[in-house]
Amino acid sequence: MASELLFDISAVDLDQVAISADEVGRLNPQCGEMRQLDHVIWVDNNGGRALGVRYVRDDEFWVPLHIPGRPLMPGVLMIESAAQLCSAFFQRFRTKQQRFLGFTRCDQTIFRGQVVPGDTLYLLSHELTSRPRRFVSQTQGVVDGRLVFESRITGMVM
């Protein structure tokens, strides 16, 4: 897997909102503490790319538990954040009607850094293949310009 970013985010206005928090809530079924995507900042529909954001707070359910005294965002939640970005993109741009989308694979996952409360986790997604019922996307997480994880995610309409 590449250790460079999927696309250059320095030219993106990180204050813009392409898919609002409310719309993410309509597109994805996760809610409450399991909602891991705050909103989508930017999309390139034709190029199959999206940039989302996850504001990591100090009052999240995992903070006192993982790891006590040194809270680290669990890797599975980082991947879940990216998966929710992929799902919102697929639901918004690739399906004619909203349907339940499940994740069938996470491959080639590498954790390269830590995410802690107070961090802003930027999520990058590049759709590699898309069919009416299935997609494969390469994803990455970035904090303060550092690549903290990458994974290939496959989703399928269930």
- With a pLDDT cut of 70, the percent of the chain lying above it is 99
- Indicate if the pLDDT at residue 122 is higher than 90: yes
- Indicate if the pLDDT at residue 1 is higher than 60: no
Distance of CA 44 to the CA centre of its chain: 15
Catalytic residue IDs:
66
For residue 2, what pLDDT is reported?
Answer: 55
Identify which has the larger pLDDT, 95 or 155. Answer: 155
Does domain 21-157 fall under CATH 3.40.50.1980? My reply is no
Residues 88/19, Cβ–Cβ less than 8 Å: yes
Cα separation, 135 vs 62, in Å, equals 30
**Digit-coded pLDDT (tens) for 49-77:** 999 999 999 999 999 999 999 999 999 99
Residues 142/148, Cβ–Cβ less than 8 Å: yes
Domain chopping of the chain, boundaries: 21-157
pLDDT band of 96, cuts 50, 70, 90:
confident
Cα separation, 92 vs 133, in Å, equals 14
DSSP states of 7-38: S--TTS-TT--SB-HHHHHHH----GGG----
pLDDT band of 111, cuts 50, 70, 90:
very high
